[in-house]
Amino acid sequence: MIMIRAIVRPEKCDAVKAALLEGGYPAVTKIEVFGRGKQRGLKVGNITYDELPKTMLMTVVPDEEKDLVVKAIMESARTSEKGAYGDGKIFVSPVDDVYTISSGKKEA
């Protein structure tokens, strides 16, 4: 299994969740986060915004479905056809084990 964490602009969160749901991936965890990328924040006039609000969405999918989910996130999170700085990042990590808390069972 694979965990996909996508850090996106807050205004794109609903579009990403809708794309995942439409693709058959309804399970998602949403966390409001703050951070900055390589551009080190945003400067407007004399004011520098060191940390910008973002939303992190996390989901776990079978290995063979990773590319479909990453594509759905990318297409729905971009702010234009080519994208722009600040559109976000997607992190993909292996998941060794998954347990259901209520039953205590390990999932396959």
Q: Is the pLDDT of residue 15 over 90?
A: yes
pLDDT band at 48 (very low <50, low <70, confident <90, very high): confident
Q: Is the pLDDT of residue 27 over 90?
A: yes
pLDDT band at 108 (very low <50, low <70, confident <90, very high): confident
**DSSP per-residue codes, 25-75:** ----EEEEEEE--TT-SEEETTEEE-SEEEEEEEEEE-GGGHHHHHHHHHH
pLDDT, mean of residues 18-39:
93
Q: Is the pLDDT of residue 78 over 90?
A: yes
Pick the CATH number of 2-94 from 3.40.605.10, 3.40.50.300, 3.40.50.12280, 3.30.70.120: 3.30.70.120
pLDDT, mean of residues 1-28:
97
